[in-house]
Structure 1
Amino acid sequence: MKVSKKVAGVEYAIRDIVLAARKVQQKGMQVDYLNIGDPVQFGFQPPDNVKQALINAINNGENYYSTSEGLLELRQEIAKKENAKGLSISADEILVTNGVSEGLDMVISSIVEEGDEVLLPGPYYPPYASYVRLHGGVPVEFAVDLDNSTPDIDDIKSKITTKTVAICLISPNNPTGVVFNEKSLRELVDIANQHNLYIICDEIYDQIVFDEKFVGIGKVAGDSPVIVLNGFSKVHLMSGWRIGYIAFNNSPKLDAIRENLPKLARVRIATSLPIQHAALESLRGPQDYISNFVSEIKQRRDLVVTRLNEMPGLSCPNPKGSFYAFPKIEDNRFGTDKEFVTKLLESKGVLTVHGSGFGEQYGSGHFRLVYLPSLEILDSAMNKIEEFVSQ
């Protein structure tokens, strides 16, 4: 039977690679899963007050469809959060989604038509390219200096064509941990304004930063056509509950998408109402658990980056945010980065993700690993990787 070419072209390396890990496990080898950035799977949990808010909502009968835009009180709190980062918006500019992925799908489907081009930071989180292709568009990677956390402005300018409709940013970045500074964000917004492009900025890791203060794009947005994507999976440790949001900047250029995109929200009905109550509590309740979480993750980052840079044939920039390392394979006698990752899995039982899964142009020759497990597990995994590259 027929399968759409659009769907056949969708890839998600982070989860696709798990199929190979299952085969290794079936042979009796223990696998260290360093592939998925889910803090909850590694022992971090939402605070008790947030869990209780979910339970209370269920017990209080909050089990019906919410409004398609999302619970008003939650949208008000989200607007406060985004305004504290620099925007100046109301609850009317917020739309609650089933995770950032659904929000990204809604935005891309609202602006991309056949042949349109979308600029993505190389390397990028795979769903960005997948959704662009799914809706008939063409993903175009631009260069990013991973050591200095800066986008290559000249490269971006050279890749803008009459078909370009948007520039996507992910800061802090997945898979590299790059965090764009205020100067870089301002330059990107200026370019978007000059060429009448949307800026789509994913800030899902906005509070998971280690060495410098995070600057949100809202601080430099002005009245530019900026759309922020964010959610509760990472910072608020609610990954399995699938809740995120779209925040539209208060820009007249966004009037048309603000009117039309919510139609997609109505078609898919709503986001889970009990989960929205939990998300509301996660914003209103104590926030000290976030700094404790980030402090623990920083220790893990320091261990992993130090160890990787001591290994022959590997080099790893220091991630400024998120919880991923993206080492470069300087001496790859195994062939491609995918073959490197596959051989590492088969011989040592360490599951990482091939860098080309995050974009062929700038991801190839790297691999991504997650440093969310305990220090003991990470140290053991680093020993295995070192044995692998030293053999």
Structure 2
Amino acid sequence: MIKAEELKRTGKNILYLNIGDPVKYDFDTPPHIKHAIQKAIDGGLNYYSPSEGLKELREAIAEKERTVNGARVDPSNVIVTTGISEAILFLMGAIVNPGDEVLMPGPCYPPYLTYAGFFDGKAVTYRTIEDRGWAPDLADLERKITKRTKLIVIINPNNPTGSVYSRAEIIKILELAAKHDIPVAADEIYDRIIYDENFTSVASLAKDVPLIGLNGFSKAYLMTGWRLGYLYLQDHEGRLAEVWDGIQRLSRVRLCASTPVQVAAVEALRGPQDHIREMVAKLKRRRDFSLERIREIPGLTAAKPNGAFYLFPRISAIGGAWESDEQFVTELLNETGVLVVHGSGFDPSFGKDHFRAVFLPDESMLEEAFTAIGDFMKRHT
């Protein structure tokens, strides 16, 4: 990103396919949500709120998770965070001790890798199978369970691959978690951005397995810069009581999430939902367009994403024209102005030899970007 800004200052046109922020493109926060925050600010709701979040918002979150995802969650077991990244930080801070291992999909959202290590734990990635749409390799997951494994993470739909786990795959992961007495964390922030398959929430299937769910408002409600997320606990036997207490303590250290934003989030959940259907329809058209263009470029292949708004193409010429995916991304930016993210940043093992691109821009920008990528590949392979 720093290199892209340097090039931009020299007059080079940058085509941004790097960041998962719909509002940076032609999507906008729904008017009723913007009106709600303005009303909250004008109405004087600009003070600190409870560290765990406003009571009305926690009730709305519990209601949403029950009705949309089949979760069995009480509002008292919801904590509102400043974005989902803070939720990940709280989770890792509460559950990871030095030497502990956290199993997570490879590739995965980088803060999981970072925060596990930040608390002197070890991120262990289980393989996902590209030829099967990045489905989890359940045998690899089970092989990597050790006596040090403290948590299994599911990111569904996945960032960066856009994969959506099937009901059967989720059940198998939960069976492994139950067999080895390991809790599960389910990151489902893209739960409303689904294209070709039905979405099954982990919470709807996790009967006896203790579960911490993570979600937020950035994606489905187009509130990226507002920074609001949440965690919830589904643990009927109280096996994660100590972990949840740690998360609550961490939430108190940082006081609270923004009060006006929380007020607006209640309206986001309880107000009109029409924008979600419209957004997903637009994204599906752009996904189909992008996938077709990528598959026309020799040297690139990509699995079809069924959720979120990312493509994760494989670069066949790594080890030939380029030594690494990071070199590919850097040279692509320098020559064409197209900015994507190197795959090894999402996991050095299972993300390497790939790059991540968003299909958030309109078709004209996507066409310009993929034409530039195609010409770049022709020059080098």
Superposed displacement of residue 86, structure 1: 1.7
**1:101 maps to which residue?**
85
Indicate which of 190, 193, 201 corresponds to 2:186. 201
State the partner residue of 2:280.
Answer: 294
**8 Å Cα contact 2:127/2:137 also seen in 1:** yes
Residues 178 and 208 in structure 2, CA contact (< 8 A), matched pair in contact too = no
Paired amino acid for 2:221: H
SS in structure 2 at match of 1:362:
coil
Q: 2:55 aligns with which of 46, 66, 72?
A: 72
Q: Judge which range, 143-152 or 326-335, deviates more.
A: 143-152
Alignment RMSD:
1.0
Which of the numbers 71, 74, 88 marks the counterpart of 1:90? 74
**For residue 159 of structure 2, what is the aligned residue in structure 1?**
174
Moved more, 255-264 or 84-93: 255-264
Provide the C-alpha distance between the structure 2 equivalents of 1:337 and 1:96, rounded to a whole number of angstroms. 37
For 1:27, the aligned partner's letter is T
Deviations 1:304-349 (A, max 9, x none): 1111111110100000100000000012312210111111000000
Shift of 1:89: 1.5
Does structure 2 conserve the Cα–Cα contact (< 8 Å) formed by 1:313 and 1:331? yes
Please tell me the residue identity of whatever aligns with 1:61: G
Paired residue for 2:7?
Answer: 24
Alignment of 1:151-162 (within 5 A): 151-162=136-147
Paired position in structure 2 for 1:39: 22
**Is 1:127 paired with 2:115?**
no
Q: CA deviation at 1:26?
A: 2.7
Shift of 1:23: 2.2
SS in structure 2 of the partner of residue 201 of structure 1: strand
Q: Which residue of 1 aligns with 2:100?
A: 116
Letter in 1 for 2:364: E
The range that moved more, 216-225 or 247-256, is 247-256
Aligned to 2:206: 221
Distance 1:193 1:95 in 2: 25
Choose from 356, 359, 365 the match for 1:368.
356
The equivalent of 1:5 in structure 2 is none
How many Å apart are 1:64 and its aligned residue?
A: 0.7
Q: What's the CA shift for 1:256?
A: 2.0
Letter of the aligned partner of 1:116 in structure 2? D
Q: Distance in 1 between matches of 2:137 and 2:46?
A: 48
Give structure 1 regions of 4+ aligned residues with deviation exceeding 4 angstroms.
none
In the other structure, the counterpart of 1:320 is 306
What residue in structure 2 maps to residue 14 of structure 1?
none
Summarize deviations over 1:16-58 as a string: whole Å, max 9, x none: xx01112222332111011100001112111111101000001
Structure 2, unmatched stretches of 5+, are: none
Distance (whole Å) between structure 2 residues aligned to residue 387 and residue 318 of structure 1 = 23
Question: Which residue pairs with 1:234 in the alignment?
Answer: 219
**Equivalent of residue 342 in structure 1, options 293, 307, 330:** 330
Tell me which residue corresponds to 2:289.
Answer: 303
More deviation, 324-333/232-241: 324-333
CA displacement 1:144-174 (0-9 Å, x = unmatched): 1234242111101111111111111110000
State the percentage of identical aligned residues: 43
8 Å CA contact retained: 1:32, 1:349 = yes
SS in structure 1 opposite 2:127? strand
Matched, 1:266 2:252: yes
| TM-score when normalising by structure 1 | 0.94
Checking the alignment, whether the CA contact within 8 Å between 1:147 and 1:318 is kept in structure 2 is no
Could you tell me how far apart the structure 2 residues matched to 1:365 and 1:238 are?
A: 32
CA distance in 2, matches of 1:66, 1:344: 46
Question: C-alpha displacement at 1:198, in angstroms?
Answer: 1.9
C-alpha displacement at 1:192, in angstroms?
1.1
1:338-377 per-residue CA deviation (whole Å, 9 max, x = no partner) reads 1111110000000001100100100000000011011110
Match of 2:368 in 1: 380
Q: Deviations over 1:219-264 (max 9, x none)?
A: 1111311111000000100000000000111332122222332011
Contact 1:146–1:178 (8 Å) recurs in 2: no
Tell me which amino acid in the other structure corresponds to 1:301. R
Kept after mapping to 1: 8 A contact 2:116/2:122:
yes
Which one-letter code corresponds to 2:345 in the other structure?
G
> CA contact under 8 A between 2:8 and 2:14: conserved in structure 1?
yes
Q: How many residues align?
A: 374
Q: Which moved more, 1:247-256 or 1:137-146?
A: 247-256
Unaligned runs of 5+ in 1: 1-17
Contact 2:216–2:228 (8 Å) recurs in 1 = yes
Q: Secondary structure at the match of 1:360?
A: coil
Q: Does 1:143 align with 2:122?
A: no
